[in-house]
Structures are given as C-alpha cells and as structure tokens.
Amino acid sequence: MEEFSLITSLVKRLPAPGADVLIGIGDDAAAVRTSGQPLIMSTDTMVEGVHFLPSTITDYNLGYKSLAVSVSDIAAMGGKPLYALVSLAISSDWNEERLGKLYDGFAEVTARFGCHVVGGDVVSTTGPMVITTTVIGEADKPITRRGAQPGDVIFVTGRLGGSSAGLETLMQQSAISPTGQAALVAKHQRPEPRVSAGQFFAEVGVHALNDISDGLASELNEIAAQSQVRCVIEAARIPLQPEVKEQARSRQADPLSYALYGGEDYELVGAVPARTFAVLLANAQLLRVPITQIGRCETGDGVVMRHVDGRLEVIEPKGYNHFARASRAGSR
Amino acid sequence: MEEFSLITSLVKRLPAPGADVLIGIGDDAAAVRTSGQPLIMSTDTMVEGVHFLPSTITDYNLGYKSLAVSVSDIAAMGGKPLYALVSLAISSDWNEERLGKLYDGFAEVTARFGCHVVGGDVVSTTGPMVITTTVIGEADKPITRRGAQPGDVIFVTGRLGGSSAGLETLMQQSAISPTGQAALVAKHQRPEPRVSAGQFFAEVGVHALNDISDGLASELNEIAAQSQVRCVIEAARIPLQPEVKEQARSRQADPLSYALYGGEDYELVGAVPARTFAVLLANAQLLRVPITQIGRCETGDGVVMRHVDGRLEVIEPKGYNHFARASRAGSR
C-alpha cells in the first residue's frame, strides 16, 4: 500500500470537516479555529495482543473504541471534544479493507460526539498493530482529580463492571444467557464516553472527576490522593450492570470486583457538594445517564468500602492488571 | 516497570511547564491556555526497524529527532510550537535508563523551541518500539502547500542532502573524512526544525511552504499539484551540504540525488513573490539560516529541473522509499 493513496482512501470514510477546520488532512499539519477557551488534550495508545485481540473485537468496534477512550478523557475533564489525530503503525495482517472498517469506527465516534479527525500518520511495522489516538477539546472550567473536599458526595454515572465481565465472556465460555452476554460484550467493545454529562458537571461545579478506565478502585484512589481526602463508599450503593451479577453468580465470583478492579467501563466518577449533587440528580434524565451516589469524602486519606454488614475494607489502587492476568491480552 | 512510577520518573526529565499549562501530566488530560489564534497540529509515528535502528541513532538523539520532526511540521505551516504529547509502545529491550535518555532528547527540543510536553501514554508492546509525537502550535496565518503562483520564486532554507548521506554513512562504510562523516551524521540524527524562519515566512506572506521530510522532489511535486503550478528548478542552484558532494564523489553517485530523493533534511521549501523574496534574503542572517532561490513557478504542472547544459529533466515525486531500498530500515 502506498502511503498517500492509502490515506486518501481512508479519509474518504470520515465525515467532511466543518468550517472551523481551516486546513484538514493533506498538508504538513492541520489548522483549526478555536474559541480561545482552555484547550484539553489527551492521547492513548492501544497495541494488538496487549490491549486488544482480533478475537475479542471487530475492526469496526476497535476503531470506535480506540477513539472513544480518548474522547472519554476529554469528558472526564468536563470538556467538549473538537479535533482528533489518529496514528497507525500497521502490521502486515491489516489490509486496506480492514483499515477501512477501523476508519468507519472512527467516523462513528466523530459523528456522534461532534469532533473531526484532522490529521494523523500511517506507517508500517514488523510488529503488532499500534493505534494512537489524540483528541483535542475545549473546557471553560476543566475538572481535575484534585478538587474533592470532605463532605462531598461521591457519585458515578451509568452501571459498572460490564466491560471486564464482557471481556471475560469473550475470553472464556460463559454460562449466562446470550442476551446477557451480548449486553456485556457491547459494554466492553463500545463504551459510551459521557461527554454531555461531563460538560454539565463542569458547568454546575463538580469538584473532581475521573473516567473509569482502570476500575473504580484505581480511579477513587487517584481522587483521594490528589485531593487529599478519604473516599468512603458503600458496597450496597455501587450500581452494577445487571448482567454482571448474573455472570458473577455463574462463576461464583464477587460481582463488585468487576466494578472495582475490572476497568474499561468509561463511566465517570466524581465528587460534588451535596447541594450540587441534587442538581445532578435532577438532570440525570436530561443527560440520559443514571447518576448514583456511592459514598462521601471525609478528612483522611485512601479509599474504604463499607460492606452491608458494616465491615470496612480498605480498597487498594489495584486495577485491571492485577484482576485477571490470564486475560491480560484482551484489555487495559 | 509500573506505569505510574515510570511516568513520574520520565516526567522529571522534562523542564517544568509555564503558567500557560493549567493542568499538566497526571490527570485524564492536559489543559492549556491559548490565545485564540488558529491552532496547528501534527502527529508522527516512528517504528524501530522501519524508521530507525539502535545502530544508527542514540536513544537521546532518537528522542530529539522524533519530537523535532513534529515541530518541523508546525514550522512548515509558519506556526509556533506550544505543546507536545508523546506516546510510547515500549518493547522489552527498552529499560528505564534508555527511556530516560529518550526523554532527555525530548527535553532538549522543548527547551530549544519553546514548547512543553503536557501529556502522553506509555504502554508495552511485544513488537518493536513505536514512538508517536504530537505537536500543537499556533499560527496567525498558516501557510499551506496550495498558494504558489506563476512567477513566484522557489526557495529553500539551509543546505540539502546531508541527512540521507549521513544515513548512508551509518549503514555502510564511508570513504570520506571523519569530520565530514560526523557532519552528515549530525544532519541525519539532529535535524534543525526551522521554526523562527517559518514564522517569519508567514508574517511576510510566503505563498506556499513544505518541510523537506521526503526529499525535494516529493515536496516540490506536492506544492506543484496543490497549487496547480509548474515548478522549474535549476540544478546548479540547489544548495548542497558540502560533505554531500564529497560523499557522492567517493561513491560515484549523483550529489543532487541526495537532495532530491534522500529526504529527512527538515529544511523548508517555499514559493514567494519576487519582491517578498528580497525581504527573506535581507533577513536570512537574522534568521540564522541560508535562504537560496532554486527556481521559479510557471503556469503548467509538475516539476522540471534545468541542468547546467540546458537539458530539462522531469522530476518525479519519488521519495526516500525509492531512493535506497537497501537502507530502508534506517529512515523515512
């Protein structure tokens, strides 16, 4: 494949950029108009055999997911994604047809979340496929991990644990219903970056926010460490995707471990003053995502979980790597 | 190596960011202040064994070069580099010490060209090392490849051909003086992005600009095609790095082929009205880079080179890949 003709054929898969793109793909660099608001930028790299396997994700969904995870980072800052750059180190088993499907997946993300791919690079590699996505957005008041205060409500969006349970389903036989399996696999392969919710959280003054890429345990520990607070969560309040419970039952596993240590749910977890939390709840329907209080910030440090029997468990910042070594090749 | 501690140790190698970096490395995404001028953004991926070899470049210079080539793309738009993101897919033969040297090379680029590394990703790969650099800058009036007009002077910065001659020196025995070899190798390993010159070119109204990553032949053909002009260059006017002539003589090769097809010189080639070209010449000393007229734009298409004997040669857009297949693994 010749670089220029390949790029031309792939770029055709993408929606035409808007008027804010002054110079798109095809020059030394892209040029875009911005409003002068603070820029938000993030980059993610996914490697075949480390972060994904052809057996656990289609090329289309891989394109969707690899760009969606960078969009999720922008959402986690309360930002609006605007532009994306995509770099591919292409292994010999990826032909133009497969790359086209990958780009169709990128195109879905850009269309749904209102951003544009304005550049990138395609090179060949003798090793596994490597996909690097960079997303640039704007946020008037970016939300960090360090603003949580004692007394704040800790909340999450959506239902947790589905992604790692979905990966488990893909890597091993699953005993649950085909519909249940499909729901879990969908959560794993097609995460939903919470872009509108994140922007709303920034507007109303959420104190701290993370997207759940490495599991709730890891993300909450980051908020606790950066904000210098103690996060106390209630086991009974953690909202699990219903099929996760089914999967855990069939495997005699702890359903909460999927939410705490599984990762890749790409929901948001944040800390917010109680009064403002009421505003979030009142708008959950408008934002089309469940919002659930799972605990409170206190003075102190670390993360603890109160079990239904009152027992307190210290939640270490262990993430996916420690959760399921056997299926490490399938996720991140 | 654990991801967080590795990132912490690598980030210490970088200069502290300025006040325009609102949120640096360590959150979901970086947040930076900008002026509201158009943003310029570019990304490049380099793969070990395809674009570089440990035998042809030190880890430090690899860091320098991989970020410098993205800075060069910003220069080619007449832009000012501001922020960089660096993603690494790390192969097993890269330890923390080697990565530290790579980051020291990044640090030199950010210090010299006034930009900051504000984010990135580090992941492991079972294949060769993959380095993706993204640079974001600003340009009031970005210069494309499409503005050249008949009558425009075609000019280049610096002296050409040194990079590919340097690579040749590294890949094969060279018969020229050690000093000559060192000069060529330096051009190959430590290209000098023409950032100040590019910004000046934008200010005074240069019509079209490219950086020479794939060789003069390829870059001029892009300007000709995008601007719908014919580029007529004079063989006798192409400024060669002096050691290139020495190297060519020792190999009985055509010295111009290094400039035309060698690539990776990362000088700038542009088209400018004759009156404005006089302004460029008058400022060359201030910009600390030679500026040389090599030809003119005419009506028509394609690129032709007039030899000293008056003969006209059509210059095809062949670049590095076609120049030296044997040493393909060393460059791009």
Confidence at residue A26, expressed as pLDDT on a 0 to 100 scale: 86
Among A92-96, A170-174, B111-115, name the one with the lowest average pLDDT. Answer: A170-174
The pLDDT of B162-173, averaged and rounded, is: 93
Tokens of residue A266, six digits: 């790409």
Tell me if A38 and B35 make a contact (CB, 8 A cut-off).
Answer: no
Tokens of residue A239, six digits: 């909202």
Tell me if B29 and A79 make a contact (CB, 8 A cut-off).
Answer: yes
Tell me if B47 and A123 make a contact (CB, 8 A cut-off).
Answer: yes
Q: Where are the domains of chain B?
A: 3-138, 153-321
Q: Do the domains B3-138 and B153-321 sit in the same CATH topology, yes or no?
A: no
- Average confidence score pLDDT of chain A: 93
* Residues in Cβ contact with B161 at an 8 Å cutoff, skipping those fewer than 6 apart: B240, B241, B244, B255, B256, B258, B259, B262, B265
E-assigned strand segments in A54-103: 80-90
The pLDDT of A40-47, averaged and rounded, is: 96
Tally Cβ neighbours within 10 Å of residue A161. Answer: 31
Q: pLDDT tens digits for B76-102? A: 999 999 999 999 999 999 999 999 999
Tell me if B42 and A30 make a contact (CB, 8 A cut-off).
Answer: yes
Contacts of B130 in chain A (CB under 8 A): 45, 89, 125, 127, 130, 132
Tell me if B45 and A121 make a contact (CB, 8 A cut-off).
Answer: yes
Contacts of A89 in chain B (CB under 8 A): 45, 47, 89, 130
- Measuring CA to CA, which residue among B123, B242, B104, B93 is closest to residue B182? B242
Tell me if A142 and B77 make a contact (CB, 8 A cut-off).
Answer: no
| Cα(B153)–Cα(A135) distance, integer angstroms | 38
Confidence at residue A258, expressed as pLDDT on a 0 to 100 scale: 96
Domain A153-323 belongs to what topology?
Phosphoribosyl-aminoimidazole Synthetase; Chain A, domain 2 (3.90.650)
Q: How many CA atoms lie within 13 A of A297 on its CB side?
A: 27
Minimal-distance CA residue of chain A relative to B322: A2
Confidence at residue A324, expressed as pLDDT on a 0 to 100 scale: 38
Q: pLDDT tens digits for B3-24? A: 778 888 999 999 988 889 999 9
Tokens of residue A322, six digits: 């420690």
The reply, when asked if residue B145 is annotated as ligand binding, is yes
Confidence at residue A147, expressed as pLDDT on a 0 to 100 scale: 97
**Which residue reads 């396997």 in tokens?**
A53
| Cα(B260)–Cα(B214) distance, integer angstroms | 9
Confidence at residue B324, expressed as pLDDT on a 0 to 100 scale: 38
Q: Which amino acid is at A302?
A: G
Confidence at residue B320, expressed as pLDDT on a 0 to 100 scale: 59
The pLDDT of A233-245, averaged and rounded, is: 97
H helices of chain A, where? 3-11, 59-75, 96-113, 162-171, 178-189, 195-204, 216-227, 242-251, 255-257, 274-287, 320-323
Q: pLDDT tens digits for B20-75? A: 999 999 889 999 998 989 999 999 999 999 999 998 999 999 999 999 999 999 99
**Which residue reads 């030679």 in tokens?**
B290
- Average confidence score pLDDT of chain B: 93
Confidence at residue A175, expressed as pLDDT on a 0 to 100 scale: 86
Class of domain B3-138: alpha beta
Confidence at residue A1, expressed as pLDDT on a 0 to 100 scale: 55
**Which residue reads 């006034």 in tokens?**
B114
Contacts of B145 in chain A (CB under 8 A): 27-28
| Cα(B73)–Cα(A131) distance, integer angstroms | 21
A314: buried, middle or exposed (CB in 10 Å: 19+, 13-18, 0-12)? exposed
The pLDDT of B127-150, averaged and rounded, is: 97
Please state which architecture CATH assigns to domain B153-321.
Alpha-Beta Complex (3.90)
Nearest-Å Rg of the Cα atoms of chain A is 20
Contacts of A47 in chain B (CB under 8 A): 89, 123-127
pLDDT confidence bin for A318, thresholds 50/70/90: confident
Confidence at residue B323, expressed as pLDDT on a 0 to 100 scale: 36
**Which residue reads 């991926």 in tokens?**
B45
Minimal-distance CA residue of chain B relative to A268: B28
The pLDDT of A94-109, averaged and rounded, is: 96
Q: pLDDT tens digits for B303-326? A: 999 999 999 999 999 865 433 333
Nearest-Å Rg of the Cα atoms of chain B is 20
Q: How far is B269 from chain A (nearest CA, A)?
A: 12
pLDDT confidence bin for A320, thresholds 50/70/90: low
What ipTM goes with this model?
A: 0.92
Contacts of B137 in chain A (CB under 8 A): 29
Tokens of residue A79, six digits: 């930002």
Confidence at residue B332, expressed as pLDDT on a 0 to 100 scale: 32
Q: Would you list which residues of A are annotated within the binding site for Mg(2+)?
A: 28, 42-44, 73, 121, 211, 214
Confidence at residue A288, expressed as pLDDT on a 0 to 100 scale: 93
The reply, when asked if residue B254 is annotated as ligand binding, is no
Q: Which of the 8 DSSP states describes residue A118?
A: E
Q: pLDDT tens digits for A259-313? A: 999 999 999 999 999 999 999 999 999 999 999 999 999 999 999 999 999 999 9
Tell me if A91 and B332 make a contact (CB, 8 A cut-off).
Answer: no
Q: Which amino acid is at A108?
A: E
Q: pLDDT tens digits for A273-288? A: 999 999 999 999 999 9
| Cα(B147)–Cα(B177) distance, integer angstroms | 42
The pLDDT of A208-234, averaged and rounded, is: 97
| Cα(A114)–Cα(A296) distance, integer angstroms | 34
Confidence at residue A286, expressed as pLDDT on a 0 to 100 scale: 93
| Cα(A117)–Cα(A134) distance, integer angstroms | 9
State yes or no: pLDDT of A329 exceeds 50. no
Backbone angles phi, psi at A56, to 5 degrees: -110, -5
Confidence at residue A225, expressed as pLDDT on a 0 to 100 scale: 97
Tell me if A210 and B41 make a contact (CB, 8 A cut-off).
Answer: no
